[in-house]
Each structure stands twice: as C-alpha cells, then as structure tokens.
Amino acid sequence: MTSARSVRVVAAGDRFVLPSLITQALTDELKGPCDVRELTLGWPLEPFGPVAEVSEASDAEDELIDALTDAEVLVTQMGPVTARVLDACPRLRLVVVCRGGPVNVNLDAAGAHDVRVCFAPGRNAAATAEFTVGLLLAALRRIPQAHDLLARQGSWAGAAYYTYEHSGLELEDLPVGLVGYGAVGSRVARVLCAFGARVMVYDPYVRGEVHGLRLASLDELLRRSRVITLHARLTDETRGLIGARELALLPPGAVVVNAARGPLLDEDALCDALESGRLSAAALDTYAVEPLPHDARLTGSTGLVERVVLTPHLGGASRAVAQKAARIAAAEVGRWVRGEPLAHCLT
C-alpha cells in the first residue's frame, strides 16, 4: 500500500469544511506531512444542486478534474464525483465524502472504476439536534417575531404575545412526536425529556422500548402530538411522508418542525394548514427546493409570516461539525494508507 508520505490527496473543501481543516486532519492522522493539493469550492455561498447524474454537489467538474491529476485520494464535501470525473481520473482509488451520505458520488461508476467511497456518518447529529430544539422553542414562544418587532421596528407590540390568546406553549407536559429516531431524533428526545415533554416516537425500523419512550404508529403519533419534529431520512418511501392527510390528523393549533429534509413534508399542504389556522406555527430549516424560491408561499404570503420560523439549511452549521467531518474523513484515509478495513465504505 502507498506510504503516508507519497500518497497524493486532493482536499476539495469549501467555505464550511475548509481545505485547511482537511489538510491538518490528514497531517495529524498520518503522523506527518503528506502530498495534499487544496481546492476551495463555493458552497455555501454558492448553492449546491444536481450536477450531471449526482445531486447536492457544487458545479465544479472541470475544477475537480484539474485538481485530481495524478491524485489517488479525494476528500471532499460537495465535489461532484460524476462518471465524467471518474473517467478523467484513472489513478483515483479512494473518495471520502465529509457528510452523512455520498449523494454527490456516482456509486455505480465508482465501483466500475474500482474506487472505494466512504462517508462521515454522525458528523452533524449533535448540531442538528440542538438546532431542531432551537427552532421548536422559537416557534412555540414566538421569539423571532417578537425580536423583529422590537429590534428591527422599535415597536413594543410584541408584548401582545403575553396575552392569553397569543401566548405560546411550553414544553413541560407537552405531547411531542418525533418522526424518526436515529442519531438526531434520539438526541432531540433526550433534550425534550429534560424539559419535561411527553415524547412519542414513530420509526418503523425501531423495535421494542426505546429509553422508556412511547412508540406509536404514525397516525397515532399525529393524533396525540401538539408538536411534531421530522428526523427521517429521505427515501422513495419517506418522500411526502407528511402531507395533507397527515397534517389533518394533528390537533388544532399544532406545530410542525422540519430540520431534516424538505421533501419529507408537503409544503403546499403545510401552507394550507397554516393559512386556515389549523396549525398555529411551523419552523423549517429545509425545503423541497433550495434555495427557497423568491415566490415561495412560505415567504410570499402575509398571512404566514407571523406563523413561520424559516432558516436557510443551517442545522448542521457549527465549527465542531466541520472539524469532526475532517477528522472522520482523515481517519478513513489513514486506514486506507495502512491497509486496514475501512469503517464507513459503500463500494
């Protein structure tokens, strides 16, 4: 196997997972300097999207091909590892993606080229769980709306949120339903239990009791929850999981929180439920189309502004996440260099 000093690596980072973080993590893992070429892609200042046959990638095939000349290893977060890139880089043998899944890699083409593909599961679980709870609290207690009135408009009108009619809900004794109980959902559950919420879980892949929490069918969970938060992975089965029928099962005045994946939730059905008053609020960090279009109902309807908390996919945005992703990726490169089994490998 190639030695640590001679392995050639491209660190195709971006403005979040900095190339310098990847290089430092590689140096620490390989116990010395290695041949690293750094490339900075534009995300998140430039949005990701579909590139050729892969999704959620930076539009940078040409830049990646140029950087990968003679490279054996690619460490990246948003680099588009398409069939074209793989065809142009015959020496490439390992791709490590600094995220929870390698959606920006053509796995079939990688396998055909004998390229191993690894990823970094769990890198942002804590950050996303914390952000989800923040969104939930912001929606329940009208924090962004009150801030906007006072800080931006100089108005004390937010005091109306202290009236009984407009005051928010508190978490203690509140029935909260978690749709999904993976790395993020389980962390959210622990925090909500500490607040005293009554937490229920729907996850078809979980069997038996989970830390004393009530397991329920999706319909039962919806009927009994004043708040639901989404934590499921996006698959063909979960796309549109929460639509008009499901939202209608929620108690009047319920709140919906989604910091997982936008297409889990039917946004038009959500807007209908908010505009009708069926739901009291929603807090979203992810959307069916990103960036959120300027003419989106969520931002274009004056009737919704008071009922929504919207953030631009920031759930995983913490410095610890970027550092952790670089370390997980570097550890995989270290295993490959030493000829050890890879920990998180798909091909």
* pLDDT tens readout for residues 299-317: 987 778 889 999 999 999 9
DSSP 41: -
- What percent of the chain clears pLDDT 70, i.e. is strictly above it? 98
The answer to whether the CB of 94 falls within 8 A of the CB of 116 is yes
Q: For tokens 């089965």, what's the residue?
A: 237
What percent of the chain is helix, strand and coil (3-state, nearest 5)?
A: 35, 20, 45
Is 61 annotated as catalytic?
Answer: no
Q: Is 93 among the residues known to form the active site?
A: no
Show the tokens assigned to 309: 């908390």
- Check residue 149 and report its DSSP letter: I
Can 8-123+318-338 and 125-310 be said to share one CATH topology? yes
Q: Where are the alpha helices (DSSP H) in 196-308?
A: 218-224, 244-249, 267-275, 297-300, 302-305
In 3D space, the residue among 286, 281, 282, 279 whose CA is nearest the CA of residue 257 turns out to be: 282
Q: What pLDDT sits at residue 1? A: 43
Q: And the tokens for 117?
A: 């593909």
Confidence of residue 36 (pLDDT cuts 50, 70, 90): very high
The answer to whether the CB of 279 falls within 8 A of the CB of 304 is no
Q: Return all residues near 70 (Cβ < 8 A) that are at least 6 apart.
A: 8, 91
Select which of 63, 214, 290, 297 is catalytic. Answer: 290
User: Which pLDDT band, with edges at 50, 70 and 90, does 347 fall under?
Assistant: confident
Name the CATH code of domain 8-123+318-338 (choices 3.90.1150.10, 3.30.450.40, 3.40.50.720, 3.30.1540.10): 3.40.50.720
Supply the pLDDT for residue 301: 76
Catalytic residue among 313, 327, 335, 344: 313
How does pLDDT run across 100-121, given as a tens digit for each residue?
Answer: 999 999 999 999 999 999 999 9
The Cβ of residue 244 has, within 10 Å, a number of other Cβ atoms equal to 13
Please give the CATH number for the structural domain made up of 125-310. 3.40.50.720
Start-to-end CA span in the chain (Å): 18
Say what percent of the chain tops pLDDT 90.
Answer: 90
- Which listed residue (84, 261, 335, 344) is catalytic? 261
* Annotated domain spans of the chain: 8-123+318-338, 125-310
Known active-site residue 313: yes
> What average pLDDT score do residues 190-201 get?
97
Say if strands 54-57 and 49-51 run parallel, antiparallel, or are unpaired.
antiparallel
Q: Using pLDDT thresholds of 50, 70 and 90, give the confidence band for residue 207.
A: confident
52 near 116, Cβ under 8 Å?
no
